[in-house]
């Protein structure tokens, strides 16, 4: 199953619901562009909902990191929501759970941005 990403607004946060496989290829380029476009239009609080991500490879992990640093460099934040066990395990062994803010509850995740930005 290829990757699909849909965005929605919750308060001042842009939630990106991602489904399918985040792996090397055109889909990954589209995800990169989507995040860059959000940042360019001033949407700097980005929450990636990975609940329906069935698979992620090293390139997909790299893209999450790339999105995280792009957001940080522009004064924004990129956080993760609803990791599956497989994705969590991968972020654990690559030590990236120490980098990303990860949530299991959407309301709490959205609230965490509000605190950070003082909105």
Partner 1 sequence: MPACAGEIPLAMNPEPQVVEVSLQSDLKSVEAAEELAEDVCTKAGFDDEDLHKIGMAVHESVINAIWHGNKNDASKRVWLRFQIHPDRVEIHIRDQGSGFEPGRIPDPLESENLLKSSGRGIFLIRSFVDEFRVENLKGLGTEVILVKRRNSKEKKEA
Task: Using CB under 8 A, list all residues that contact partner 1.
Answer: 23-25, 57-59, 61-63, 65-66, 68-69, 86, 90, 93-96, 98-99
Considering the complex, state which of residue 10 and residue 61 has its C-beta at the smaller distance from partner 1.
Answer: 61
Q: Which helix (H) or strand (E) holds 10?
A: strand 4-10
Closest distance of CB 19 from partner 1, Å: 17
- Cβ proximity to partner 1: between 68 and 110 the closer is 68
Closest distance of CB 58 from partner 1, Å: 4
- Count how many residues are written for the chain: 119
CB of 15 to partner 1, least distance (A): 23
Return the residue matching tokens 């699909």.
4
Least Å from the CB of residue 64 to partner 1: 9
CB closer to partner 1 out of 40 and 93: 93
Phi, psi of 12 (to 5 degrees): -100, 10
Does residue 45 sit in helix, strand or coil?
Answer: strand
* Nearer to partner 1 among residue 68 and residue 103 (C-beta): 68
């Amino acid at each position: 199953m290829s990757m699909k990403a849909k965005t929605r607004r919750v308060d001042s946060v842009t939630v990106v619901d991602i489904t399918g496989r985040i792996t090397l290829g055109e889909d990954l380029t589209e995800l990169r562009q989507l995040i860059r476009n959000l940042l360019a239009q001033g949407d700097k609080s980005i929450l990636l909902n990975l609940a329906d991500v069935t698979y992620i490879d090293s390139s997909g992990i790299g893209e999450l990191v790339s999105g995280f640093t792009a957001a940080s460099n522009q004064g924004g934040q990129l956080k993760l929501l609803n990791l599956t066990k497989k994705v969590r395990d991968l972020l654990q062994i690559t030590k990236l759970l120490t980098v990303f803010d990860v949530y299991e509850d959407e309301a709490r995740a959205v609230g965490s941005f509000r605190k950070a930005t003082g909105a």
